[in-house]
Amino acid sequence: MNDVTQLLVKMDSGDSRAAELLMPLVYDELRKLAAKQIDNERPGQTLQATALVHEAYLRLVDIDYSQQWHSRRHFYGAAAEAMRRILIDRARRRNREKHGGHLQQITVNVDLLPMESSDDQLEVLDEALDRFSTVDASACELVKLRYFAGFPLREAAEILDIPERTADRLWSFAKAWLLREIRQDDPPS
């Protein structure tokens, strides 16, 4: 059992100091994952990777909402889910009319900007993921780790404790299923 798993077990048994000891062990990895996710956001994003990590971490170790961490996989899966929820909530809030959701953003020099997901696309993906979780929960968890937490396939497979070939198969299935669902959800242009 590695240090992270041991601290998660201690947190589960009520050790309040374990959460303080856990943060330094997982912070750098969570920060890198959050930075990758923020890079995929549209330009002008005000949320920074550090804030995303802190908000997600606070949700993960919330004392008022007792959570039981069974493993490193469970913790990182929950971290990916927390980051997903934070980004989805922000996208939905930005899309509301009072936040300028009806306004169209115009980019002057498209060649200099990175590719990004629009808030609408993020919402469609979120809804498709909710449906996909009932079809294949393991593949859905893999998508969350890869897309929202930014883990490479090999590391996501390790966190899920599945062979890399199985993860590759699940990833291919998930991409095909989600693409089909998202295309069905897209209104005709």
Nearest to 56 by CA among 86, 31, 77, 93: 86
- Segments making up each domain of the chain, as ranges: 3-185
Taking the complete model, does pTM exceed 0.85, yes or no? Answer: no
Mean pLDDT by 10 residues, the chain (189 residues): 75 74 80 76 69 81 66 80 84 67 43 47 84 92 88 91 92 88 67
**Residue 43: predicted pLDDT:** 62
**Residue 108: predicted pLDDT:** 31
**Residue 63: predicted pLDDT:** 55
Distance CA 10, CA 158 (A): 22
* Interacting residues of 1 by C-beta distance below 8 A, sequence separation 6+: 9
**Residue 156: predicted pLDDT:** 92
Long-range contacts of 36-44 (CB under 8 A, 24+ apart): 36/150, 37/83, 37/87, 37/148, 37/149, 37/150, 39/114, 40/116, 40/117, 41/87, 41/116, 41/117, 42/105, 42/116, 42/117, 42/118, 42/119, 43/107, 43/113, 43/116, 44/105
**Residue 147: predicted pLDDT:** 84
Contact status, residue 40 vs residue 116, Cβ threshold 8 Å: yes
| Residue whose tokens read 């469970």 | 74
**Residue 140: predicted pLDDT:** 92
Write the burial class of residue 101 (CB in 10 Å: 0-12 exposed, 13-18 middle, 19+ buried).
Answer: middle
